[in-house]
Amino acid sequence: MATKEKIGIVASNKMNKTIIIIVEDRYAHPLYTKTLKKTKRFMAHDELNQCSIGDKVIIEESKPLSRKKRWTVKQILNKTKISN
């Protein structure tokens, strides 16, 4: 069976080796055909702590790593540059 993959944006990286991803799904309303957005948050395992807030990443389904963490970071697509 193939593993599921999702593309999302990192919302939080405050935990050690864990990030929170926001995945946005757009769909048309069945009756009114207006485009709606549905967002969902996933906790993903980041072994090297290399993701930062705003990065676009691909996560893949894995075995349960904790109570809420069932995804791992597969690839970082876009790194954000933080300027202070």
Task: Please give the average per-residue pLDDT across 69-82, as a whole number.
Answer: 92
* φ, ψ dihedrals at 12, nearest 5°: -150, 145
Q: What is the pTM of this model?
A: 0.86
Is 18 part of any domain? yes
State the total domains in the chain: 1
Task: Give bridge partners of residue 40 from the DSSP assignment.
Answer: 23
Is 56 part of any domain? yes
Is 24 part of any domain? yes
CATH number at residue 12: 2.40.50.140
Q: 10 Å Cβ neighbour count for 80?
A: 13
Is 83 part of any domain? no
DSSP secondary structure code for residue 63 in this structure: S
In the structure, what pLDDT confidence band is assigned to residue 2 with cuts at 50, 70 and 90?
confident
Is 53 part of any domain? yes
- pLDDT of 1 reads 59
Digit-coded pLDDT (tens) for 12-56:
999 999 999 999 999 999 999 999 999 999 999 999 999 999 999
Is 72 part of any domain? yes
Q: Domain residues for 73?
A: 5-78
Is 15 part of any domain? yes
- pLDDT of 83 reads 55
